[in-house]
Amino acid sequence: MRAALILILALLSAQGTVPTKQDLNYVVGPSDVLRVTVFGEPQLSGVFRVENDGQFSYPFLGRLKASGLTVAAVANALKMGLAGGYLRDPQVTVDVEQFRSQSVFVMGEVRTPGKYVLSGSVTLLDALAQAGSIGPSAGAEVLILHPTTSLSGAPTLPGQGDAEVERVNLREIEDGKLSRNVTIRDGDTIFVPKVDRFFVIGMVRNAGSYALERNMTVLQAISTAGGISERGSNRRLRIVRIIDHKRKEFDAKPTDIVQPGDTIVVRQRLL
């Protein structure tokens, strides 16, 4: 999974964020720079900066609101204004020349964590690509934190501040479930946690340390280690777990849920 996903993110990073027709749904904000084109009317076409009050000045029409409106809605407002006594059936298009008003934080196990400007409609994979892709110690599950209070200009980290948490498993995207490549909103924080690990030792084919999947059972963990060897027994399973800084060991069933840091011991079968 990791190699294929990193390749996808590397390609996105090399290509940059490509504007698409979805950018018509981009919500304009202060400091964004708009390019207005009126067909056949060069004196009414040009570049306009949305000021801090969310408005911009336009010939004939004066101060127009843009902040909080989609690009398509701004174009329609200009068309309606120019049609009201200035032009007959004006053809107006609006594009975002410079995206400056919206941003997202990408934190955790990525190569270049930090704050990134949203360039139109940005998906989870787009944002991860801007941060240089996930790091080698990243887990498969990513947290997207949507702030529920006013934006503070700082990232929202797990367990800090009021936020709605959305969990996305990158494996699902790689497996073709593109609906999980969700759209990122202004002020969101994408947090890539470090992968939790578990250990399998004893009578298995490939003893070692492995990345822990959510709700993974003991049976699934042993399968990840290649399964029980010919000398092993599935009736003599043990788990070693650190609880309150103390080592605890107990019998395990194949359906038990593995916890981070667990060591699963597969003992030799009795002859």
CA–CA dist 67, 108 (Å, integer): 31
182 and 132 in a common domain:
yes
Q: Are 103 and 118 in contact (CB under 8 A)?
A: yes
33 within a domain of the structure (yes/no): yes
50 domain-assigned: yes
Say yes or no: 187 and 204 in one domain: no
208 and 151 fall within a common domain? no
Are 65 and 188 contained in the same domain? no
What CATH number is attached to the domain comprising 258?
A: 3.10.560.10
Indicate the residue among 139, 164, 192 that finishes a domain.
192
**Same domain as 118, residue 245:** no
Clarify whether residues 57 and 152 are in a common domain.
Answer: no
93 lies in the same domain as 120? no
Residue with tokens 């667990």: 262
pLDDT at 6: 56
210 and 244 belong to one structural domain: yes
Q: Is residue 78 part of a domain?
A: yes
* Confidence (pLDDT) at 12: 54
Within a domain: 230: yes
The values of phi and psi at residue 126, to 5°, are -60, -45
Question: 8 with 80, same domain?
Answer: no
Co-location of 106 and 11 in the same domain? yes
Q: Which of 50, 66, 98 is the last residue of a domain?
A: 98
Question: Which tokens is 101 given?
Answer: 């008003």
CATH of the domain at 46: 3.30.1950.10
**Residues 45 and 36: beta-carbon distance below 8 Å:** yes
Residues 261, 208, single domain; the answer is yes
Domain that holds residue 205: 197-268
Does the residue 76 lie in any domain?
yes
Alpha-carbon distance values, 24 to 39, 75, 119 (Å): 18, 9, 12
Domain boundary among 66, 98, 130: 98
- Domain total of the chain: 3
106/12 same-domain check: yes
- What's the pLDDT at 47? 97
Q: What is the pLDDT along the chain (271 residues), one digit of tens a residue?
A: 455 555 555 555 555 544 444 467 788 999 999 999 999 999 999 999 999 999 999 999 999 999 999 999 999 999 999 999 899 999 999 999 988 888 999 999 999 999 998 877 789 999 999 999 898 889 889 999 998 876 667 888 887 767 899 999 998 998 889 999 999 988 899 999 999 999 999 999 999 999 998 899 999 999 999 999 999 998 889 999 999 999 999 999 999 999 999 999 999 987 6
Instruction: Check residue 5 and report its DSSP letter.
Output: H
State the amino acid at position 114 in one-letter form: G
Q: Summarize pLDDT for 235-252 with one digit per residue, the tens.
A: 889 999 999 999 999 999
Beta strands in the chain (DSSP E): 33-38, 46-49, 55-58, 62-65, 92-98, 103-108, 114-117, 141-147, 163-169, 189-192, 197-202, 208-211, 232-243, 246-251, 263-268
User: Distance between CA atoms of 50 and 39, rounded to whole angstroms?
Assistant: 22
Residue 23 lies in a domain: no
Task: Give CA–CA dist 32/82, Å, rounded.
Answer: 22
In whole angstroms, give the CA distance from residue 236 to residue 99: 60
pLDDT at residue 101, as a whole number: 85
Does residue 21 fall inside a structural domain? no
Q: What is the pLDDT of residue 21?
A: 44
Domain contains 140:
yes
